[in-house]
Every structure is written in structure tokens, then in C-alpha cells.
Homo-oligomer: A and B are copies of this chain.
Amino acid sequence: MTLLENPPHVITVGASLLDEALAAQAVRTTRVEWRPPLPGTAAALAQVLADPRRPAANSLAATRLTTARPQLVGVRQAAEILPHGTFLHAGPPLEWERASGPMRGALIGAMLLEGHATDEASAVAALASGRVALEPCHHHGTVGPMAGVVTPSMWMFEVRDAEHGGTAYCSLNEGLGKVLRYGAYGQEVIDRLRWMDRVLGPVLAAALKITGPIDLRSLIAQALQMGDELHNRNRAATSLLLRELAAAVVEAAPRQAAEVLRFMNGNDHFFLNAGMAAAKVSTDAARDIPGSTLVVAMARNGTDFGVQVSGLGDRWFTGPAGIPDGLYLGAYGPADANPDIGDSTITETAGLGGFAMAAAPAIVRFVGGEVEDAIAATRSMYEITLAEHPAYQIPGLGFRGTPVGIDVTLIARTGILPVVNTGIAGRIAGTGQVGAGLVSPPAEAFTQAINALAFGK
């Protein structure tokens, strides 16, 4: 029997040209879904996949990430944690010169809030002269949404990992609209921050002393079953947190309880920052495992998108931050959008946000799209993750765990990039929020990371 005695059955791989040409000649083909690895990763990928430490290292990293038990244990003023004369910002390291509009706006507001400047011009001059040190939140166990600027007077959620012992912080959420984290710094913004410093922070701190630790792992798990994905939708989680705290807020501060509860009720993203600190303390548990290719941070400073990898310590691998694709508020459009900004991608890094879109069908209307898009987004993330979260489950997928533990080798191999849900800040300092949408990290951040894993450079 020779090869061509029977009709040929052709298996096609790679570019579709061959397959299409055969189909046009009525030849039966079997198409194999395959694409080449990300450009510039083939050699590194071979090297890293052959690393004998990798399977055990990734298994340990994924297990530590998914077994973390984040608990909200307190609310503390940032001055207790920050080095003197330092402001924190979102994303990888950034200098004033390279800062985008909303980051500059937030830093100007921070100078006014802290009394380091009396007007915009003097704030800009002081910032340009380097009078205040700027450091990434992530370098201080902290995360911050959007501009993520944290100054000494601000209060922060303190979240402890009851399983592995880590601690992480995140500032308190200001609400939507004209707010510092979106780069607004008008008087209303400063006044609100002063009220948060004077009333909200101390009252919440006192209330948490009454309630004791609040189990955020359980609260996040429940919120996922109530339509939140914990990045762009936090209505359920905010409601659950408010009801847990309400009685203690009254007992801690009877005279201020009404304004505190009204503020929390007025902001459906109130939980976001607690959830971000929970995600941060969980991913931190997976850090510094030699040979692990698991992503432990994704963060944007409005100029660069950076990632950190467990086996590579505190090194950042960056590329230019993209413009989110989404829906815009009022008359705003893509031309008004700043590149992607904020540490809130820590939610995706921990298996929430864009990775949990299928849990939040309502969110797709907010970021543009259909329910099927949300399910497809989550499904595709299983391709680049090492685990399914044992506690964070998606009812619409038969209670399957969310995809969690992004693996740089799987990204390099498939070319699939993480899906990120995000708010969109106005490009001009002082504008505030202009929309919300989806964005992907720049591929080169992962290309650099896998080359560093392979060749240490």
C-alpha cells in the first residue's frame, strides 16, 4: 500500500493559507489550532520549559496564592507605614517628567492636601524639583487604584493573610467622578479627602476594633456569586461589607455614624480598595519562589504597564500602557483617554476582575459587550493560568473556580494576553473619570520577563 493509494487526509497546522487552498479544491482537512509563540520568546521558552525547578515552583506559587486567607484587620494612617517625605503612586517606578496627566493631577492634589503647596503652580514646581520622593505603592506592601497616590495623612485598609502571615494596604475609596485617583484636584476633591482623613478613617479604624477581623476571602467568594467581578463591579461586596460594619460604626462613633454610612452607601466601589489589598496580600504570598514563572503583580502608572514574576524578585518588566477600549461617559471619547493606569490590575493577578467577568454578566454592558463576551473572556484566561481558585467560583460556569495564577510561559506559548477591566482616566490633569473598558498589557512586558527567566537579563 502506498501513501496515495487512498484519498489523502491532510492535517494542517499554523497559517490558514494551506488549509484554505485545500478546502477550495474540496480536499478534506483536519485543522490543528496552533500559533507560534510570542515573537522573541521561542528560545527563552524552550529554556524555561526545560527548567527542572519549574513544575514544583509553580505548584507551590499557585497553592500559596489560592490558599491565602485575606482578612481586613484594621484601618491605619499611611504616615505609620510611609517613609518620611515620600508619596506613593500606582504602577512601576516613575519620575515626574514622565508622568501622565492624571498622575500629575493626583500628585498636585496630594501636595495641596498635605499643605506642601498652596496652589497648582507651586505644587508643580515642588514636584518637578523632586522635593517629595515618589515611590511605587508595590514597594511598600501597598496598592492604589488609578493614580494610586498615597500621602501620609490618608488612611488605608490593612489586610492580613491569616494563612501565610503577610500584610498589605490600600487607601480608602473616594467615590466616582471628580476624585484624586482619576487626577482631579479641585477644592471639592481636597475637601472630601480632608473629611476622609478626619472622620472616615478614624471611625472605620474604631469600628474594626469592635468587629474584629473581617474575612475578605469569604466576602469576595460571596460577591462573585452576586454578580461582582471585584474590579469594575463591587456593588455586592460593598453591600456585604457595609452591613458587617454598620452596627460597629454606630457603636464606635454615634455622632458621625450617619455621615460615614451615607458615604459608604453612596459609593458602590467602596469595597474595591479592600479587595485590592486582599488580592495584593494573596499574590505576595506567591513571591520569590526560585524557578516560578507565575505573575505576582501587574500594575500601571499611566505611562508604563509593568509586571513582576515570582522567580524574578522585585524586578519590573514594562511596556507602554495601552488605551482601554470601552464606553465613555457623556461627551468624552477615546481622544480624551489617558493610557491605562492603576494598581487595580492586582485583582486580575489574583483571579478576579477581567478573569472573573463571567461572574458579572451585568458588567459587560458597562464596559461594552454581551454576556457571551464575558464568558469567553473568562474561558480564555484558563489558557494562561495555572489553577482554578478553590473559593472564588462562578455560578454561570457551574461553580467552576476562577482562572488564577498567570503563567508567563503560557502567555508566551499561546500569545493570549491577560484581560483587564478598568476605569478610564481623562488625559488632562484635573479631568477625572471619562469611561470604563477593557485593556491588555503590552506583550513586551512578558517577552522581557521570559527572557529574564531564561537568560537572567
Binding site for B on A (CB under 8 A): 222, 225-227, 235-236, 238-240, 242-244, 246-248, 250-251, 254-255, 257-259, 261-262, 264-265, 361-362, 371, 395-396, 398-399
13 contacts between A and B (CB under 8 A): A225-B361, A226-B226, A226-B236, A242-B242, A243-B264, A246-B261, A247-B257, A247-B258, A247-B261, A254-B254, A371-B398, A371-B399, A395-B396
Cα A362 to Cα B239 in complex, Å, equals: 18
- Chain B residues lying within 8 Å of A265, measured Cβ to Cβ, are 243-244, 246-247
Closest residue of B by beta carbon distance from A397: B371
A250 with B239, Cβ < 8 A, contacts A362-B395, A371-B398, A399-B371 known = no
Nearest CB in chain B: distance from A200 CB, A: 14
Cα A308 to Cα B130 in complex, Å, equals: 77
Cα A264 to Cα B250 in complex, Å, equals: 14
- Chain B residues lying within 8 Å of A361, measured Cβ to Cβ, are 225, 395-396, 399
Is B243 touching A250 in the complex (CB atoms < 8 A)? no
- Chain B residues lying within 8 Å of A255, measured Cβ to Cβ, are 254
Centre residue among A226, A243, A244, A395 by max chain B CB count within 10 A: A243
Is B240 touching A250 in the complex (CB atoms < 8 A)? no
In terms of DSSP, what is the predominant structure of the interface of chain A?
helix
- Chain B residues lying within 8 Å of A248, measured Cβ to Cβ, are 258
Nearest CB in chain B: distance from A456 CB, A: 48
Cα A247 to Cα B239 in complex, Å, equals: 13
- Chain B residues lying within 8 Å of A371, measured Cβ to Cβ, are 395, 398-399
Is A247 touching B262 in the complex (CB atoms < 8 A)? yes
Q: Per a CB cutoff under 8 Å, which of B235, B243, B262 touches A242?
A: B243
- Chain B residues lying within 8 Å of A247, measured Cβ to Cβ, are 257-259, 261-262, 265
Closest residue of B by beta carbon distance from A244: B265
Is A258 touching B250 in the complex (CB atoms < 8 A)? yes
Nearest CB in chain B: distance from A171 CB, A: 22
Closest residue of B by beta carbon distance from A238: B243
Q: Per a CB cutoff under 8 Å, which of B226, B243, B399 touches A243?
A: B243
- Chain B residues lying within 8 Å of A362, measured Cβ to Cβ, are 225, 395
Given contacts A361-B396, A371-B399, 14 further A-B contacts (CB under 8 A): A225-B361, A226-B226, A226-B227, A227-B227, A242-B242, A243-B243, A243-B265, A248-B258, A250-B250, A250-B258, A254-B254, A257-B257, A361-B395, A371-B395
Nearest CB in chain B: distance from A438 CB, A: 19
Centre residue among A255, A264, A361, A395 by max chain B CB count within 10 A: A395
Closest 5 CB pairs of A and B: A239-B239, A226-B226, A247-B262, A361-B395, A250-B258
Nearest CB in chain B: distance from A122 CB, A: 38
Is B251 touching A258 in the complex (CB atoms < 8 A)? yes
Cα A227 to Cα B371 in complex, Å, equals: 16
Nearest CB in chain B: distance from A254 CB, A: 5
Cα A251 to Cα B242 in complex, Å, equals: 17
Cα A235 to Cα B237 in complex, Å, equals: 12
Cα A427 to Cα B189 in complex, Å, equals: 60
- Chain B residues lying within 8 Å of A225, measured Cβ to Cβ, are 227, 361-362
Centre residue among A251, A254, A255, A261 by max chain B CB count within 10 A: A261
- Chain B residues lying within 8 Å of A242, measured Cβ to Cβ, are 239, 242-243, 246
- Chain B residues lying within 8 Å of A264, measured Cβ to Cβ, are 243
- Chain B residues lying within 8 Å of A262, measured Cβ to Cβ, are 247
Closest residue of B by beta carbon distance from A257: B250
Cα A240 to Cα B235 in complex, Å, equals: 9
- Chain B residues lying within 8 Å of A222, measured Cβ to Cβ, are 235
Q: Per a CB cutoff under 8 Å, which of B239, B251, B398, B399 touches A240?
A: B239
Closest residue of B by beta carbon distance from A222: B235
